[in-house]
Chains A and B, each alone.
Chain A
Amino acid sequence: MTGRLLRRLLLGIVTIAGVYTLTFVMVISVPGNPLQQSERNMPPEVEQALKARYRMDNNWIYFGQFLKGAVRLDFGPAFTYADWTCNQILMHSLPVSLVIGLLAILIAVGVGVPAGVLGAVYRNSWLDGAVLGVVLLGISLPTFVTGSVLLTVFAVYLRLLPVGGWGTLAHLPLPCVTLALPYAAYIARLTRMSMLDVLGSDFIRTAVAKGLPRRVVIGRHAMKVAFLPVVSFLGPATAQAMTGSFVVEKVFGVPGLGQHFVNAALNRDAGLILSTVLVFSSLLVVFNLVVDLLYAWLDPRMVDAL
């Protein structure tokens, strides 16, 4: 078990190395970057000095330098934010996104799993229809629309919550719910589907035949198996939610990490792109490991498959 986990971890590190290399190649092959704007009309000496300041005089030296720093968790200067290093940007924005993302995933699981179970157990009833309605709302409207509608209703008309910003507990519900909605919808879909599969299997029939109450059959026997696909979805989903969403941050004025993914890419800010990508892929590897552990705990047969 430990050996297998170690192998997984090693594979994860190889993947991160691949992600880093590929991102680097993309960054240097996409035209334009903050240091070479022709309209500025810089003297060549100044351009050279600028490049040296940002360690960009040679792409492959930069590749090594950045990697050397990143291993020691020092991501160097951000190209388009004067006086900010990537570390400072991450320190300010990552905790915000971690909090929102974690809460959003908790909401999504808390809403999506019961909804999916109810939909499967009371198949084709009005309850199933109601679940379907919420699911469809979640998957067929973009986040910027649901977020703006929630904002208008709860902050502008009902005046229950602040319009935007960050700092108090009252700022949390709207962004978290907005971010949770698509995940909740997907989890409800997934749970319902796998629950329907499980409810048709032999061991459930046995449990019912033994005379176990319905609540126990569904809650203890069926849930454990039906939850497996949700667990494997949660790995990448959590990593994604915890690195922030540009739309949610824009709509609610939250200082999270998602905006930096987008702005770094739009500005071709090599340092910031590479650091955000490294943060994302490390989180992804970590959560996939957690998923593997959860799998082994939920389904002992899977230990061998790890």
Chain B
Amino acid sequence: MSAHRRAIAGAVFLMSLTGVGMLALPVAMDWHNVQDLESAVRHPPSWTPVMAPGRFLSPRDQSSHKELVWRLAHRPVSWFGHDDLGRSLFYRLVLGFLISLAIGIGSAALAVGIGTSWGAVAAYAGGRTDLILMRIVDVLYGLPYTLVAILLEIALSGPLTVLMGEDSKAAQIVILFLAIGGVSWPTMARVVRGQVLSLRHQPFVEAARALGAGPLHILRRHLLPNLVGTIVVYASLVVPQAILQESFLSFLGIGIQQPLPSLGRLAADGVHAVNTFVSFWWLLVFPCGMLGLTLLALNFIGDGLRDALDPKSSAGLLS
């Protein structure tokens, strides 16, 4: 299978999962934390729902339309089994997938924003500015990644929870992608700087300058369009890295906090749930399978994009 086909397969896989996830999001938001400590504690996967039906019927669900939605949504509740509080792993996975993807894309966007402007300014300004900016990047490379991510997260969680409300669910996600994106941008800065350095003396840039264009205009209108390919390729590789980084933070216990799930959080919980006496295999296999497939698809997309957009590498990493 060529890289091109793999990238398409990855994109189709991710898009269909996201589509299904978005459709199921309202239900997942309602149900990801519904516990059933009587009948469903660590219940293995089964086709038919094992949770007591009355549990989900709140008064607003009584109308016939809501009743239908509820019947449909109740069907997959036990497909992937239940966790130690009797919560449906299916709906936790749906929500966890969307949260992980949001953190990945948010981090990549942040890394692109900081990295591109940092690298472009350094290369275009040149001289002392370049020297200082790139020295700072060197220093950031010399810092251990995990330490900075942890310290950033601790530093950000205070002001952001004040800003967005004490129990705001969005605040956690924002903190995580700010912390992960905040440590992922130096590579981006180096790559963009290299590209701008090779572009800035090209005839079309000199022509623009000769016509009286200012540096900002040249950066925005002439240099950035030429960088789009590189930026997209690197951004697509930051997304899986960020998701993996979040799973590491979740393993430490400072990632997404209960009751919210992320794929990494669920995988880390699954690792803790596996023991030699009783095997709760579904708590490990489904989250890890989901995490693995998501990262795989994202890597396929990244490699396909590199093949398509980066003219210099004749062969993609995985082609």
Contact = CB atoms under 8 A, between A and B. Distances in A.
Interface residues of A, number: 52
Contacts of A284: 141-142
B248 to A, nearest CB: 6
Contacts of A156: 276
Contact of B143 (A23, A190, A192, A193): A23
B296 A140 contact: yes
Q: Looking at chain B's contact residues, is the secondary structure mostly helix, strand, loop, or mixed?
A: helix
Given A22-B143, A26-B151, A132 B318 contact: yes
Contacts of B147: 23, 261-262, 264-265, 273, 276-277
A18 interface: yes
Contacts of A261: 144, 146-147
Given A31-B155, A148-B271, A142 B244 contact: yes
Contacts of B316: 193
Interface in B259-312: 264, 267-268, 271, 274, 276, 284, 288, 291-293, 295-296, 299
Contacts of B138: 15, 18
Contacts of A262: 146-147, 150, 252
A209 interface: no
A261 B292 CA distance: 27
A262 B314 CA distance: 40
Contact of A19 (B143, B271, B284, B293): B143
Nearest to B268: A144
A15 B139 contact: yes
Interface of B: 135-136, 138-144, 146-148, 150-151, 154-155, 158, 240, 244, 247-248, 251-252, 254, 264, 267-268, 271, 274, 276, 284, 288, 291-293, 295-296, 299, 313-318
Contacts of A276: 144, 147
B154 A247 contact: no
A277 B158 CA distance: 24
Nearest to A245: B146
Contacts of B313: 193, 197
29 contacts: A16-B142, A18-B142, A19-B139, A26-B148, A27-B151, A30-B154, A31-B154, A136-B296, A141-B295, A142-B244, A142-B248, A142-B251, A142-B267, A143-B248, A144-B271, A145-B267, A145-B291, A148-B271, A200-B314, A243-B144, A246-B252, A250-B251, A261-B146, A265-B147, A273-B147, A276-B144, A276-B147, A277-B143, A285-B142
A236 B140 CA distance: 13
A236 B217 CA distance: 37
Contacts of A97: none
Contact of B144 (A142, A193, A197, A277): A277
Interface string A269-306: 00001001100110011000000000000000000000
Contacts of A145: 267, 271, 284, 288, 291
B139 A144 contact: no
A105 B141 CA distance: 20
B295 A139 contact: yes
Of A132, A140, A281, A284, most buried by chain B (CB within 10 Å of CB) is: A140
A30 B155 contact: yes
A129 B299 CA distance: 16
Contacts of B143: 19, 22-23, 277, 280-281
Contacts of B314: 196-197, 200
Given A265-B154, A284-B142, 18 more contacts: A15-B139, A18-B135, A23-B147, A26-B151, A26-B155, A29-B155, A132-B318, A140-B293, A144-B248, A144-B267, A148-B271, A190-B317, A247-B248, A262-B146, A264-B147, A265-B151, A268-B154, A277-B143
A142 B247 contact: yes
Given A27-B151, A145-B271, A262-B150, A189 B317 contact: yes
A95 to B, nearest CB: 19
B9 to A, nearest CB: 13
A250 B138 CA distance: 30
Contacts of A27: 151
B236 to A, nearest CB: 14
Contacts of B268: 144
Contacts of A23: 143, 147
Contact of A193 (B142, B254, B276, B317): B317
Contacts of B315: 193, 196-197
Interface in A154-201: 156, 189-190, 192-193, 196-197, 200
Interface string A56-77: 0000000000000000000000
Nearest 6 CB-CB pairings of A with B = A18-B139, A140-B295, A281-B142, A265-B150, A19-B142, A196-B315
Given A18-B138, A139-B299, A148 B274 contact: yes
B47 to A, nearest CB: 27
A93 to B, nearest CB: 14
Nearest to B147: A265
B146 to A, nearest CB: 6
A152 interface: yes
B141 A236 contact: yes
Contacts of B291: 140-142, 145
